[in-house]
Amino acid sequence: MSPDPNLITRHTGQSRIERNSRALVRIGVSALARFYREREQPILGAGFILLLILAWQSLPAIVSLPRGISLFFTTPVEVVKAFYRLVEANEIQSHVYVSALEFIVGLGLAIAVGFPLGLVMGRSKVIDAMLDPFITAFNATPRLVFLPLLMLWLGIGIWSKITIVFVGAVFPLLINTYEGVKNVDRVLVNVVRSFGANEWQTMKIVVLPNSVPYIVAGLRLAIGRALLGVVVGEFFGASKGLGFMIATAATNYKVDVVFVGVTIFMGLSLILTHLVKMVESRLSRWRLEEAKTF
Amino acid sequence: MAPCIQATNVSLTFRPKNREPVTALREFSIEVATGEFVSIVGPSGCGKSTFLNILLGLLKPDAGETRLNGTQIAGPGQERAMVFQEFGLLPWRTVLANVELGLELKGVAVAARRSRAMELIQMTGLAGFETHYPHELSGGMKQRVGLARALATDPQVLLMDEPFAALDAQTRDLMQAELLQVWDRTKKTVIFVTHSIEEAAYLSDRVLVTSARPGRIKQIIKVQLPRPRDYEMRLSAKFNEIKAEIWNALKEELLGRGAGNGT
Amino acid sequence: MALKETISEYRRPLLGVASVVGLTLVWEIAYTYFIPLDPFFFTKPSLIGVAVKDQTLSGELWKDLAISSKAFLWGFSLAVIVGIPIGVFMGWRRRAEYVLDPFLTALYASPLVALAPLFIIIFGVGLTGKVALIFLLAVFPFIFNVFAGVKCTDRLLVNVVRAFGGKEKDIYFKVILPSILPYIVAGARIAIGRGIVGILVAEFYGASEGIGFAISRFGDTYRLPEMFAAILLLMIMAVIFTEGLRKLETILAPWKIGQEAR
Ligand SMILES: Nc1ncnc2c1ncn2[C@@H]1O[C@H](COP(=O)(O)OP(=O)(O)OP(=O)(O)O)[C@@H](O)[C@H]1O
Ligand SMILES: [Mg+2]
């Protein structure tokens, strides 16, 4: 970058070197300011998170914690160390494997059931009316109430967890697919029908594309419910899995291990949510840019 | 020779749930010759859109019959195509894919329908916008897509339901001129519903004025102006006479509604 | 004739009632006469009905419900008191959004119940632990719904109030509050579900009272009818609350009906 000539001529009276170095500092500062201005949002966001982590890390060095609290206290560095220990001992891998299996199978089943059922309910008034009371009731109640029942029925193996993941994830998928089908524009249905489309073609050309954004939103909710199912299911009746690891670590006051588990869950859900968002924006290039809301 | 479109004593009553039934059309009859450009003007709610939907085959009349070239209309078919007031473009499809819709449903091979669609995109002045999505287009361009889509399957009859109502005045004038050019070239039979007397007079061979609901034909006005028509013609005395004639036929119906025997 | 019309008018609710009644009957009959499953693991509607009657009359279940409700109300109220101001602040101040949004979004997207065991060993299984967990889960829907509500507030209305001589206070109470009200209600609806999750997890975990404890104890002691009765009661309450709030939402903001996914 070449120095701005105006900058130099304003500073006559100073030695050339001094002038140049000052100018350089100025350029540096203004470049820095511009860098900040252009990226203020990510800098502030990431900065705050870093600051929190730093504060957490340095807390025990600044204030001496009372015994009662230091028992439950850990620092980010401790958490990272615990993570490496668990990886080296080949312990965490098997937990992750079991949790992932429960998550994938449960969510897969939920998709396989919720999506077609939502389509059928959206197109058939009778089935819709008949299933509606059940769906309203089950959707309003967190399906975790069934956990003790499922434990009773299915024991502590992976199937009780797969089932709780399934019942957690199936309703958002079903309901969102249903809403997507219901909210289809009548005019568009008429347009395709006027070109001679049959029911199946109408479905393919209008109804399905119209429900895609709803389905993806449903998938995002379903992922959250599925993770919840994995975590809580493993708390209360499992012999493997990240939730089990967290629960046992907590009872043994291994707070660093608790945070290893929590961080892995956080990371997973962030990655998955991000993936779904990417799919969403890919699939909805045709939509108007709307205000992002929750 | 049978008229291209023939509707005899068509009646239709809507019976919505939990509401009073509405008779939209009662014994509605018209005939339209092949290649003719006919406009329908009438008070709002008198059943014009309903009639077009019957011709399109989306609605079935309670009584009466509709024929196309002497054959009964039984459902949608590709000899008829509609240009919708609200455009009715699939928002997730590009301009090109929207224009291809009818050909796709007809089972035309990809390459063939692409070249046919490109032809119409050229003709309607949309070249360069093939990969745009509807939300990236202006109102006038959207309606060009609607027109191109309707023309793509080369239908014999073009049904147009207030196609230019959502456009601003200048775009509307432009689109009218372009429609006349296209019509001149393709020689379609057109049934054009509008609320604009000027538009009806400018475009049509005949203007049908309908009564308030339930709609029936009240008066038929022949527009004996030479073609091709241009914008200057709208300033002529003859043109204004025709407009006045349409207005006089319509006036009573509109005032009648105003006096409270409508709805 | 009149009957026929009534039927067609109420077709939808009638079909719903019919399918609920039908399923109950099929269950009852099948269990009684055809497939008598092990009563330790399964039960039937008539027995559940008796259990509902006994439990609600004896007041045992009410006691558990009252204990859970107390924790719920505390946690929920704290979530409202803390969540709404944070949401308003984030929505109204751009820099506050930049600073807080990534951090809070990350927390909202994560299964924070994973922290439940830690909360329980720190705060115990009593009221404090439950309240802390419920608060943690219920606060985010308030923050983010209010945030979205403030962002969607029409800036023109703010200027209108200013132009007529309104003060900062008027802007908050005459423009922002009314326009975020439906969002708060929507947030409350989501928060209720998450709050119940908090109660259940805390009470499954080792409480000695409360509805979650009751359900899990009935399970452990193979008292299936009582367990189903407790679940049914919780479901009915959840439906009343969420559907009530949904109604309230449509009353407060009729223009938003059916917009957002459930
Ligand atoms: N699907 C329907 N169900 C019930 N009533 C309907 C339906 N479609 C139309 N109607 C009623 O039928 C009458 C005629 O409607 P139509 O849309 O054909 O009128 P129109 O002449 O096209 O009016 P406009 O000029 O305002 O477009 C109106 O009173 C309308 O309310
Ligand atoms: Mg109309």
Joined together, the tokens standing for residue A262 give 């929590």
Q: Do A230 and A155 belong together in one domain?
A: yes
> Residue A140 maps to which CATH number?
1.10.3720.10
Q: Name which of C101, C114, C200 is nearest A144 (Cβ-Cβ).
A: C200
Per-residue pLDDT at A235 exceeds 70:
yes
Per-residue pLDDT at B83 exceeds 50:
yes
Q: Do A51 and A128 belong together in one domain?
A: no
Question: Is residue B221 a contact partner of residue B245, using CB atoms and an 8 Å limit?
Answer: yes
Question: Is residue C130 a contact partner of residue C203, using CB atoms and an 8 Å limit?
Answer: yes
DSSP codes of every residue in B153-169: T--SEEEEESTTTTS-H
Max CA separation in chain B (angstroms):
58
What is the model's pLDDT at position C170? Answer: 80
Residue B45 CA, ligand 2 centroid: distance in Å: 7
Q: What is the pLDDT of residues B98-114, one digit of tens each?
A: 999 989 888 899 999 99
Contact partners, residue C170, CB within 8 Å, separation at least 6: C161
- Which residues lie with the beta carbon below 6 Å from any ligand 1 atom? B 14, 16, 22, 24, 44-50, 213
Strand order in the sheet with B22-32: B22-32, B5-14, B63-68, B71-72
Pairing of strands B71-72, B63-68: antiparallel
User: How many angstroms separate the Cα of C110 from the Cα of each of A207, A272, C135?
Assistant: 32, 10, 15
Alpha carbons B120 and B103: distance in angstroms, whole number = 12
What is the model's pLDDT at position A103? Answer: 96
Name the pLDDT band for A7 (thresholds 50, 70, 90).
very low
What is the model's pLDDT at position A188? Answer: 92
Q: Do A10 and A102 belong together in one domain?
A: no
Q: Average of pLDDT values for C169-188?
A: 85
Name the residue at shortest CA distance from atom 28 of ligand 1.
B45
Per-residue pLDDT at C256 exceeds 60:
no
Name the pLDDT band for A32 (thresholds 50, 70, 90).
confident
What is the sign of the dihedral through the CA atoms of B148, B149, B152 and B157?
negative
Counting as contact any 3 or more CB pairs under 8 A, the partners of B are: A, C
Alpha carbons A177 and A203: distance in angstroms, whole number = 13
Alpha carbons B71 and B107: distance in angstroms, whole number = 24
Q: Average of pLDDT values for A236-250?
A: 91
Name the pLDDT band for B245 (thresholds 50, 70, 90).
very high
Q: Do A48 and A109 belong together in one domain?
A: no
Among B257, B176, B263, B246, CA closest to B207: B246
Residues of B in contact with C9 (CB under 8 A): 17-18
Distance from CA of C12 to the nearest CA of A (A): 5
What is the model's pLDDT at position C159? Answer: 80
Residues of A in contact with C151 (CB under 8 A): 291, 293
Alpha carbons C118 and A73: distance in angstroms, whole number = 10
Pairing of strands B206-210, B189-193: unpaired
Name the pLDDT band for A290 (thresholds 50, 70, 90).
very low
Q: Coil, strand, or helix at residue B108? A: coil
Contact partners, residue B111, CB within 8 Å, separation at least 6: none
Lowest mean pLDDT among A4-13, A149-158, B206-215, B235-244: A4-13
Q: What is the pLDDT of residues A37-49, one digit of tens each?
A: 888 888 998 999 9
Distance from CA of B18 to the nearest CA of C (A): 7
What is the model's pLDDT at position A8? Answer: 43
Q: Average of pLDDT values for A137-155?
A: 90
Pairing of strands B157-161, B71-72: unpaired
What number of other Cβ atoms are within 10 A of residue C103's Cβ? 15
Joined together, the tokens standing for residue B133 give 């999505």
What is the model's pLDDT at position A294? Answer: 30
Report yes or no: B93 at the A interface, CB cutoff 8 Å.
yes
Per-residue pLDDT at B84 exceeds 70:
yes
Cβ–Cβ of C200/A228 closer than 8 Å?
A: no
Q: Name which of A133, A144, A262 is nearest C16 (Cβ-Cβ).
A: A133
Residue B47 CA, ligand 1 centroid: distance in Å: 5
Q: Average of pLDDT values for C206-210?
A: 82
Question: Is residue A186 a contact partner of residue A254, using CB atoms and an 8 Å limit?
Answer: no
Look at the block and give the residue holding tokens 């949002």: A41
Counting as contact any 3 or more CB pairs under 8 A, the partners of A are: B, C
Enclosing domain of residue A46: 40-66
Ligand 1: residue of B13, B46, B159 to mutate (most ligand atoms within 8 A of CB) is B46
Q: Do A281 and A185 belong together in one domain?
A: yes
Alpha carbons C210 and C65: distance in angstroms, whole number = 6
What is the sign of the dihedral through the CA atoms of A133, A134, A135 and A141?
positive
Q: Do A93 and A19 belong together in one domain?
A: no
Alpha carbons A187 and A194: distance in angstroms, whole number = 10
Report yes or no: B103 at the A interface, CB cutoff 8 Å.
no
The alpha-helical segments, DSSP class H, found in B128-236 are 139-152, 169-186, 197-203
Contact partners, residue B59, CB within 8 Å, separation at least 6: B12, B50, B53
Joined together, the tokens standing for residue C240 give 């009343």
Report yes or no: A286 at the B interface, CB cutoff 8 Å.
yes
Report yes or no: C259 at the B interface, CB cutoff 8 Å.
no
The per-residue pLDDT of chain B, averaged, comes to: 89
| 3-state SS, one letter per residue, for B42-89 | CCCCCCHHHHHHHHHCCCCCCEEEEEECCEECCCCCCCEEEECCCCCC
Report yes or no: A189 at the B interface, CB cutoff 8 Å.
no
Share of chain B above pLDDT 90, in %: 54
What is the model's pLDDT at position A14? Answer: 62
Report yes or no: C6 at the B interface, CB cutoff 8 Å.
no
Per-residue pLDDT at A3 exceeds 50:
no
Among B147, B176, B177, B171, CA closest to B159: B147
Q: What is the pLDDT of residues B64-73, one digit of tens each?
A: 999 999 899 9
The per-residue pLDDT of chain A, averaged, comes to: 86
Residues of C in contact with A221 (CB under 8 A): 261
Cβ–Cβ of A232/C201 closer than 8 Å?
A: yes
Q: Name which of C109, C151, C215 is nearest A269 (Cβ-Cβ).
A: C109
What is the model's pLDDT at position C30? Answer: 85
What is the model's pLDDT at position C252? Answer: 78
Cβ–Cβ of B105/A196 closer than 8 Å?
A: yes
Q: Coil, strand, or helix at residue B227? A: coil
Among B202, B249, B250, B245, CA closest to B226: B202
Helix orientation angle between A158-182 and A92-123, rounded to the nearest 10 degrees: 30
Tell which of A125, A188, A191, A192 to mutate to test the B interface (max B CBs under 10 Å). A191
Q: Which ligand is nearest to the CA of B214?
A: 1
Per-residue pLDDT at C117 exceeds 50:
yes
What is the model's pLDDT at position B262? Answer: 39
Residue C246 CA, ligand 1 centroid: distance in Å: 32
Name the residue at shortest CA distance from atom 22 of ligand 1.
B49
Q: Do A7 and A47 belong together in one domain?
A: no
Per-residue pLDDT at A293 exceeds 70:
no
Report the amino acid identity of residue A85: R
Q: Do A56 and A34 belong together in one domain?
A: no
Contact partners, residue C141, CB within 8 Å, separation at least 6: C83, C187, C188, C190, C191, C194
CATH number assigned to the domain with residue range C45-257, chosen from the 4 options 3.40.50.1000, 1.10.3720.10, 3.20.20.140, 1.10.730.10: 1.10.3720.10
Name the residue at shortest CA distance from atom 17 of ligand 1.
B49
Per-residue pLDDT at C223 exceeds 60:
yes
Residue B168 CA, ligand 1 centroid: distance in Å: 24
User: How many angstroms separate the Cα of A225 from the Cα of each of A102, A129, A169, B224, C139?
Assistant: 13, 25, 5, 71, 17
Residue of B nearest to C11 (CA): B17
Alpha carbons B187 and B202: distance in angstroms, whole number = 17
Contact partners, residue C159, CB within 8 Å, separation at least 6: none
Name the pLDDT band for C2 (thresholds 50, 70, 90).
low
Report yes or no: B78 at the A interface, CB cutoff 8 Å.
yes
Domain coordinates of chain C in residue numbers?
45-257
Name the residue at shortest CA distance from atom 25 of ligand 1.
B44
Residue B62 CA, ligand 2 centroid: distance in Å: 19
Pairing of strands B189-193, B37-41: parallel
Q: Do A95 and A44 belong together in one domain?
A: no
| 3-state SS, one letter per residue, for chain A | CCCCHHHHHCCCCCCHHHHHHHHHHHHHHHHHHHHHHHCHHHHHHHHHHHHHHHHHHHHHHHCCCCHHHHCCCCCHHHHHHHHHHHHHCCCHHHHHHHHHHHHHHHHHHHHHHHHHHHHHHHHCHHHHHHHHHHHHHHHHCCHHHHHHHHHHHHCCCHHHHHHHHHHHHHHHHHHHHHHHHHCCCHHHHHHHHHCCCCHHHHHHHHHHHHHHHHHHHHHHHHHHHHHHHHHHHHHCCCCCCHHHHHHHHHHCCCHHHHHHHHHHHHHHHHHHHHHHHHHHHHHCCCCCCCCCCC
Question: Is residue A116 a contact partner of residue A110, using CB atoms and an 8 Å limit?
Answer: no
Lowest mean pLDDT among A176-180, C67-71, C124-128: C124-128
Angle at C170 between CA C165 and CA C176, to 5 degrees: 125
Distance from CA of A62 to the nearest CA of C (A): 22
Residues of B in contact with A285 (CB under 8 A): 133
What number of other Cβ atoms are within 10 A of residue A246's Cβ? 29
Name the pLDDT band for B152 (thresholds 50, 70, 90).
very high
Q: Do A268 and A137 belong together in one domain?
A: yes
pTM greater than 0.95? no
Peptide bond into B214 cis (omega under 30): yes
Counting as contact any 3 or more CB pairs under 8 A, the partners of C are: A, B
Report yes or no: A188 at the B interface, CB cutoff 8 Å.
yes
Cβ–Cβ of A243/C100 closer than 8 Å?
A: no
Name the residue at shortest CA distance from atom 12 of ligand 1.
B24
Q: Do A158 and A193 belong together in one domain?
A: yes
Q: Do A256 and A178 belong together in one domain?
A: yes
Q: Average of pLDDT values for C84-99?
A: 90
Name the residue at shortest CA distance from atom 2 of ligand 1.
B14
Joined together, the tokens standing for residue A37 give 């201005």
Cβ–Cβ of C19/A131 closer than 8 Å?
A: yes
Q: Which ligand is nearest to the CA of B194?
A: 1
Report yes or no: C8 at the B interface, CB cutoff 8 Å.
yes
What is the model's pLDDT at position A292? Answer: 35
Name the pLDDT band for A13 (thresholds 50, 70, 90).
low
The interface pTM score, or ipTM, of the predicted complex is: 0.85
What is the sign of the dihedral through the CA atoms of A260, A261, A267 and A270?
negative
Name the pLDDT band for C32 (thresholds 50, 70, 90).
confident
Q: Which range among A27-36, B58-67, C58-67, C253-262 has the greatest average pLDDT?
A: B58-67
Look at the block and give the residue holding tokens 């509605």: B28
Name the residue at shortest CA distance from atom 7 of ligand 1.
B14
Residue B195 CA, ligand 2 centroid: distance in Å: 9
Residue B84 CA, ligand 1 centroid: distance in Å: 15
Domain count across chain A: 3
* Burial (CB count within 10 angstroms: exposed 0-12, middle 13-18, buried 19+), residue A11: middle
DSSP codes of every residue in chain C: -HHHHHHHHTHHHHHHHHHHHHHHHHHHHIIIII----TTT---HHHHHHHHHHHHHHTHHHHHHHHHHHHHHHHHHHHHHHHHHHHHHHHH-HHHHHHHHHHHHHHHHS-GGGGHHHHHHHH-SSHHHHHHHHHHHHHHHHHHHHHHHHHTS-HHHHHHHHHTT--HHHIIIIIIHHHHHHHHHHHHHHHHHHHHHHHHHHHHTT-SSSHHHHHHHHHHTT-HHHHHHHHHHHHHHHHHHHHHHHHHHHHH-GGGTT-S--
